[in-house]
A = this chain, B = another copy of it.
Amino acid sequence: MAKVKISDVAREAGVSLGTVSNALNHPEKLRPETLKLINETINRLGYLPNQSARQLAGGATKSFGLVLPRLDHGFSLQIASGAHNEARKHGYDLLIANADNDDILEDHYLRYFMGTQMSGVMVQPMASPDWHPAMTKMPVPIVHLDIHCSEPGYYVAADNEAQGRIIAELAIARGAHHIVVVGRAAFMQLTLRVLGIHKALALHPDIKIEVIDAGEWNTAADGYGIGAQIAERPADERPDFVVGLTDVLASGVVSALVDKGISVPGQVRVAGCDGNPLAWSGSVPLTTVAPPGYEIGRKGVQLLMEQIENKAPAKIKHIRVGSAARTVTAVAAEDINRQELVRPFLLERASTQASSQTDATAINLGAYL
């Protein structure tokens, strides 16, 4: 089980140590026979280069780190997917760490990546990174995703506030009088969505609004619990519009309401945020605002590449991806034939996602609205 190292290969192949190294990193410098001989020896011996030593000796490797707050959040996955594809396009590896909704872990992995000679690091932070300015002065390019930093630094964010506004305007268009927002707003992004909702509703003081914390995990079960609680209220205290800050939450709410005999969207309308594909397929699609996660991941890597290639000290650079609020609101105000809007969108989205062209916050009108 003793690990075979480069010197073993060299000895076995009868060449020098540096030559084996060249075979690995600059094969064009070697005579074809030598290269072939070395490669055969490598395979025969089962040699695996020690990445740590490579990184130590050679400086940064071509790989990026991505710290995500949670893996089971569809939106984070879209980010990961976009980042992955863009990174591979540039010949970089992407390593992902799950911070598991834990500030300390997030910080831990961040430092870990920083110290691993990664070429760059991306985070989708749980809180504003402003409280931790140390991170922005690191010797490794870093990009914050899905969040706005006031401090200097790179970030690319979706317009979460716009998403909230869109949802609120939908509610207004539907004649809502009492809106309940479900979700733990402890996450910056969700907070901004709530803010957007409040702002849009500022012009409508007659509409009552209520925010209910859904517990730490924002699961379907949490949504179900809150839905059940809403269902049990007397009719006049019951909202006529529920916004799940997350598709999974919204979905859970719908389950509970339906189970308790409340008609959706007859008595209560429900919408979510995230654009989870499962949410808008099935026989009864959920209405949902889809932030352009794929695009955010993509742009994040592009920003990283930019920093690497210019080697310039990170200047302030903010990118804000898509806020098709106007377009979408116009659409929402009309009464759409679901079949015409939803299905093509479902299909179109799947294909644009593959070709990664999508740039705007999109909305999908489902049947619960």
Contact = CB atoms under 8 A, between A and B. Distances in A.
B278 A254 contact: no
Contacts of A343: 224, 255, 259
B116 A52 contact: yes
A171 interface: no
Given A138-B46, A278-B276, A350 B98 contact: no
Contacts of A220: 277-278, 281, 346, 350
A133 B69 CA distance: 36
Interface in A217-258: 217, 219-225, 247-248, 251-252, 254-255, 258
Contacts of A3: 139
Interface string A126-157: 00000000100111000000000000000000
Contact of A255 (B96, B100, B283, B313): B283
A187 interface: no
A285 interface: yes
A51 interface: yes
A50 interface: yes
A354 B217 contact: yes
A72 interface: yes
A71 interface: yes
Interface stretch (A27-35, A77-85, A161-169, A325-333): A77-85
A56 interface: yes
A127 B324 CA distance: 42
Chain A binding surface, main DSSP class: helix
Give the most central of A56, A94, A138, A283: most B CB within 10 Å. Answer: A283
A281 B109 contact: no
A85 B98 CA distance: 10
Given A93-B109, A251-B278, A117 B221 contact: no
A96 B96 contact: yes
Given A80-B71, A93-B109, A282 B286 contact: yes
- Nearest first, the 8 closest Cβ-Cβ pairs linking A and B are A221-B350, A52-B55, A278-B278, A51-B115, A251-B281, A220-B281, A51-B116, A96-B96
Given A52-B52, A251-B281, 5 more contacts: A50-B115, A51-B52, A51-B112, A71-B80, A221-B349
Interface of A: 1-3, 46, 48-56, 71-72, 74, 77, 80-81, 84-85, 88, 93-98, 100, 105, 108-109, 111-112, 114-117, 134, 137-139, 217, 219-225, 247-248, 251-252, 254-255, 258-259, 264, 276-279, 281-286, 313, 339, 343, 346-347, 349-351, 354, 368
11 contacts: A50-B56, A52-B55, A52-B56, A95-B96, A96-B98, A219-B350, A221-B347, A251-B281, A276-B278, A279-B282, A283-B368
